Amino acid sequence: MMEGSLILRTAARFLMPLLLTFSIFMLLRGHDQPGGGFIAGLIAAMAFALYVFAFDVPTTRRILRVDPRGMLGWGLLIAALSGVISAMLGQPFFTSQWWPIQLPVLGELKLSTPLFFDIGVYLVVLGTVMTIVLTLAEAEE
């Protein structure tokens, strides 16, 4: 695959951090408001797909740092374990659990099983989409 233009490469370098930051924002607000792991994973995948188009597959794999198939597996494990926690506490599978944590500067932070589930979904979506995108891009080269 041919490398993208100078404008596309410059835009990709500028947009990638913004897209990844926005995806984290969507991930963290999703269990309370619209958003969540699925849409956040798609936004993150879009950032990396833009990098594939602007540069090439090896550069994108280097930026991604992990194999997307492994990311998919870890995401499934995290999502499944988020349901097991409530079962271990004697409640129905996937019953939400909340743990408030007091942080010195940030104040109260609420960790929850819905957040862990969303993180798992995020990793599954990002891993799946990036596996597809990278496989198609490699086939084209």
Tell me whether residue 107 is in a domain.
yes
The number of folded domains in the chain is 1
Tell me whether residue 21 is in a domain.
yes
Q: What was the pLDDT predicted at 1?
A: 47
What does 23-39 look like in DSSP terms, one character per residue?
Answer: HHHHHHHTTTSS--HHH
DSSP 66: S
Q: Mean pLDDT, 10 residues at a time, over the chain (141 residues)?
A: 78 96 90 82 97 93 95 96 91 88 82 91 97 94 72
Tell me whether residue 13 is in a domain.
yes
Domain that holds residue 25: 6-140
Q: Evaluate if pTM is beyond 0.85.
A: yes
What does 57-71 look like in DSSP terms, one character per residue?
Answer: HHHHHHHH-S-HHHH
Tell me whether residue 89 is in a domain.
yes
